[in-house]
Amino acid sequence: MKNARSKSPNDEKSRLRLLVKWADDCRAQGRYPQAEAFYRKALTAAESIFGPDHVEISAILNNLAVLYKYTGNFDEAEWLYRRALAIIEAKLGADHPNLATIYHNLGGLEHARGRFAAGEPFARRSVEIREKALGSNHVDVAADVAALAAILDGQKKFDESEPLYRRAMAIFERAYGPEHYEIAINLNNLAALKSAKGESEEAEQLYRRALALKEKLLGADHPDVAMTLNNLAVLLKKQARYEEAEAMYERALKIFEQALGPEHPKVIACHENYARLLKGRR
């Protein structure tokens, strides 16, 4: 009987790339449990191929941490980001552009936690590193600038955040045209800023543009669509447009619960918003 042929290093690396692709695809589609399983398999495979402290590991750690931020596992996400940060600093140095990605994501994690001031140094560091490496008009810099704007927004530093959103939007539109995911994100965030400033009409227009674009790019049942639905419902409630707001909340909750489960912070927040609406209408 012939012995089974052992896998070559190239075979193992090809399988690793396939696992990462499957994980990334599932995450983009909002299929988070499947994405986690594939990322975990990819991480185990990468550690076996490269060892625990290789730069290749840092990319998978980062992607899994992004997933955990989406699913509300914030402490686990932070641990993975910091492990990736330590690997990159040790292997590539303290100013490598890969570090900007981790700082960007650490800032985003603090934003998700509602700890906006804690996230600001991370966001500023990501902009600093990336501008030095790529110049001020690169799309990756624009993404960092937009993330910083969102963190400033959370601190009500609107005079600083609004020009940053518009700067990022201009770069994205030049690079990608008017229909791109990054544009949708920034439309949503700029709408939230306008809502906070009491500029309801412009906020609604921006939310509806963001919603239409997300539905076109991601599909009608994606969690990102639900996030904009929730935000638009909050705005409509402020305008006493209760029936419209109720319909938005109901659709958002259906999407959130299916994708994220009942214990996710976004699901809980949307439930609370909806409950306040119903209570106020009695």
Q: Which residues contact 216 (CB under 8 A, 6 or more apart)?
A: 179
At 208-238, the pLDDT tens digits run 999 999 999 999 999 999 999 999 999 999 9
Which pLDDT does position 2 carry in this prediction? 47
Task: Tell me the pLDDT band of 1, cut-offs 50, 70 and 90.
Answer: very low
Predicted pLDDT of residue 9: 73
- Sorting pLDDT into bands at 50, 70 and 90, what band is 279? confident
pLDDT band at 186 (very low <50, low <70, confident <90, very high): very high
Write the CB contacts of 249 (distance below 8 Å, at least 6 apart in sequence). 229, 230, 233, 270, 273, 274, 277
Kindly tell me if the per-residue pLDDT of 4 is higher than 60.
no
Where do the domains of the chain lie? 14-93
Question: What type of residue is 30?
Answer: G
What pLDDT is recorded for position 140?
95
Mean pLDDT of 167-187: 94
Residue 6 scores a pLDDT above 80: no
The residue among 236, 227, 153 whose CA lies nearest residue 185 is 227
pLDDT band at 271 (very low <50, low <70, confident <90, very high): confident
pLDDT tens track for 187-196: 999 999 999 9
CB count in 10 Å sphere of residue 79: 14
- Whether the per-residue pLDDT at 3 is higher than 60: the answer is no
**Residue that is written with structure tokens 């996030």 in the block:** 227
Task: Report the amino acid identity of residue 191.
Answer: A
Please tell me the distance from the alpha carbon of residue 69 to that of residue 104, in angstroms, as a whole number.
13
Distances (CA, A) of 224 to 45, 120, 148, 231, 281: 30, 23, 19, 11, 27
30's enclosing H/E stretch is none
- Res. 8 pLDDT band, cuts 50 70 90: confident
Q: What is the pLDDT of residues 118-139, one digit of tens each?
A: 999 999 999 999 999 999 999 9
Distance CA 63, CA 57 (A): 10
Q: For the structural domain made of 14-93, what CATH number should be given?
A: 1.25.40.10
Average pLDDT estimate for 56-71:
95
Q: What pLDDT is recorded for position 7?
A: 62
Q: How far apart are CA 12 and CA 250, in angstroms?
A: 45
Is the pLDDT at 5 greater than 90, yes or no? no
225-254 mean pLDDT: 93
Token pair of 160 as six digits: 């600083």
Q: What is the mean pLDDT of residues 102-113?
A: 96
Q: Is 240 left (phi over 0), alpha (psi -120 to 50) or beta?
A: left
Residue range 36-40: mean pLDDT, rounded: 97
DSSP assignment, residue 8? P
| DSSP reduced 3-state for 109 | helix
Average pLDDT, the chain: 92
Read out DSSP for 207-240?
A: HHHHHHHHHHHH-TT-HHHHHHHHHHHHHHHHTT
Q: What's the pLDDT tens digit per position in 45-58?
A: 999 999 999 999 99
